[in-house]
Amino acid sequence: MIYTELTIRAMKVAYEAHHGQVDQTGVPYIFHPMHVAEQMTDEVSCCAALLHDTVEDTSLTMDELTDMFPPAVTRVVRLLTHEVGVPYLDYVRAVARDPVARAVKLADLEHNADQTRFAGCEVSQERLAYFREKYAAARTILEEADDGGDV
């Protein structure tokens, strides 16, 4: 994690936005964006990682984020926000065109694909297989992309 005034602001915003939410295993949701942010190597990607699910999964809006963060951060968060009606792999292809968004999404997928997180939870083998296939397809798209945006 990179600690700067901006990343600390992003931590606080993400914490407040996800307050009270839990993931599929019952763990406080904030641990997910924190884990993703821990994988980042610069201020912008760290902020984007912390905020990557806020617009999609909380009441926070892009307009509110735009008032709090510079365009370098909000541009990436906008790319990482999967809009309703957009097929998942089309969304991933759009993310793949941006190196910062791609780095955050790869870390996000890595954490989401860690099925040891489901230890002690009742999750069907079919559901786990669905996640494995979904995340593997997305990871392939992201890993095959180059910085020129070719996928």
Instruction: Provide the annotated active-site residues.
Output: 56-57
Residues with Cβ within 8 Å of 23's Cβ and at least 6 positions away in sequence, in order, are: 29, 31, 32, 117
Residue 7 CB neighbour total at 10 angstroms = 22
Let me know how many helices (H) and strands (E) the chain has, helices first: 9, 0
Residue 146 CB neighbour total at 10 angstroms = 11
